[in-house]
């Protein structure tokens, strides 16, 4: 009986932490997204073809993390590296660092930083995009610090937890 009650309590806590509902007025500062680091993504505008290639590779990385597939993530990171040019040294360095990692959890640990850089790039080059992008947020990522990612689909598929909490998160912004 105690195990059943404990299981129900754990389920309730996980469900409450990942609810996609509206924020209440009584929400604490802890529930707000962690401070996002603003990173320089590029030094100039890029072509729509290059942006499309970068976003496609990034979304492939995200999808591989959702599936908890390190090899697929590394393959997508290699394609992302091919899409980056000389003006994107910080993103290149991070992508190389992620590509060198061996397991999904290590790759996930840097995915938030990559997402921030891709977000800046997508915002700076909004006129070069021909697709909607959804900025999605999970409050439970990184020990409840929270983290975001970008998606081509509105439906939540969490790259930080994969199938453990596949639908944990909410859309924060449409780009």
Mean pLDDT for the stretch of residues 15-33: 42
Residue 80 three-state SS: helix
Please give the pLDDT value at position 3: 47
DSSP per position, 107-169: HHHHHHHHHHHHHHHHHHTGGG--S--EEEEETTHHHHT-EEEEESSSS---TTTGGGSTT--
- The pLDDT score that the predictor gives to residue 10 is 38
Domains of the chain, residue spans: 40-174
For 117-148, write each residue's pLDDT tens digit: 999 999 999 988 989 999 999 999 999 999 99
State both tokens at 160: 């930080």
| Joined tokens for residue 165 | 């909490």
Global pTM reads 0.78
Map tokens 């439906």 to a residue: 155
């Amino acid at each position: 009986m105690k195990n059943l009650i404990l299981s129900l309590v754990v389920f309730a806590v996980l469900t409450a932490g990942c609810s996609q509902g509206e924020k209440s007025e009584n929400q604490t500062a802890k529930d707000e997204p962690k401070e996002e680091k603003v990173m320089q993504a590029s030094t100039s505008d890029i072509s729509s073809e290059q942006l499309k290639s970068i976003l496609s590779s990034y979304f492939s990385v995200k999808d591989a993390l959702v599936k908890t597939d390190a090899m697929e993530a590394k393959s997508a990171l290699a394609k992302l590296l091919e899409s980056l040019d000389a003006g994107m040294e910080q993103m290149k360095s991070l992508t190389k660092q992620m590509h060198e990692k061996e397991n999904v959890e290590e790759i996930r640990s840097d995915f938030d930083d990559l997402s921030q850089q891709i977000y800046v790039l997508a915002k700076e080059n909004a006129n070069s995009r021909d697709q909607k992008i959804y900025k999605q947020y999970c409050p439970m990522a990184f020990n409840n610090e929270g983290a975001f990612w970008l998606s081509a689909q509105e439906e939540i598929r969490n790259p930080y937890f994969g199938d453990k909490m596949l639908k944990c998160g909410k859309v924060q912004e449409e780009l």
